[in-house]
Structure 1
């Protein structure tokens, strides 16, 4: 119904902003976007096939398999971009790139009817956005900070982690969350 349109818009806008908040270190947002796009390429392919959808017990979305091509394009563009965005970055994504890629992931999740899986697969983005929300809320309420700095990747930098350590560890978290998101397809 009409509430679904509001929900879908919230997913798309939220995903865009969450990816934007994550894009604070060289290569930090790029690889998780590539990983999420790869995960959704597989999900889109599966929901686009009636036989796989029936086997997995997930809703079949006719034509969703075409989204796998879009996901593959995002992956390819992301890998090419990462070549120049890896530390030390020569090129930066900026708001235009991060908002567009996050919005694209949100739109793909909505089109594939796997919005909740996006929250798992994109858990890193959720964590980054929540760190900002928590920091602002808590500071306005108490005048104190929960984190040394938000988004949380800056908190870890303030704790003494090297930029490359933060980036690589966040990439690892993204891989684990992608696998967890894929596991939910069968563990229902």
Structure 2
């Protein structure tokens, strides 16, 4: 295959990938039940189990997260404590603020700027940039993060990570309330 043809194929694939990401709108879930109320679900202790897969689908890391979530009015704090399969640990503290339109803004120390959360029906879509340390360097990676409330105890989460529109991998989580 010629170099020009390879470049053209790569460009077409990139455009198709970007177009497919832009096509899904959270309002498609507006009639889905049970309706997700972040202040209700993320309140108290929540356990989550997850994994990170690279772009080939290989599981790179598994983890458990214990979340302590509290709200005062429209402002919430999610204190996340991660335990990874390689023995490492991490803490992330999110501050979430419910906006007048019912959507959310989120901040955390390793989030670049603000996370934007759109809520509709049983679904929440977070979009943000996270500063991820990898092998002594820090990379700003785009997250397209979807959460789906299954019932009053279980929520599923799938995040696609990308850089410059190129898919790097996925994070999958299952949240469980006692």
**Band the TM-score falls in, shorter-chain normalisation:** under 0.3
Q: Which structure is richer in relative contact order (CA contacts within 8 A, separation 6 or more)? A: 1
- Decide which structure has greater helix share: 1
TM-score for the superposition, normalised by structure 2: 0.24
TM-score for the superposition, normalised by structure 1: 0.24
- Decide which structure has greater strand share: 2
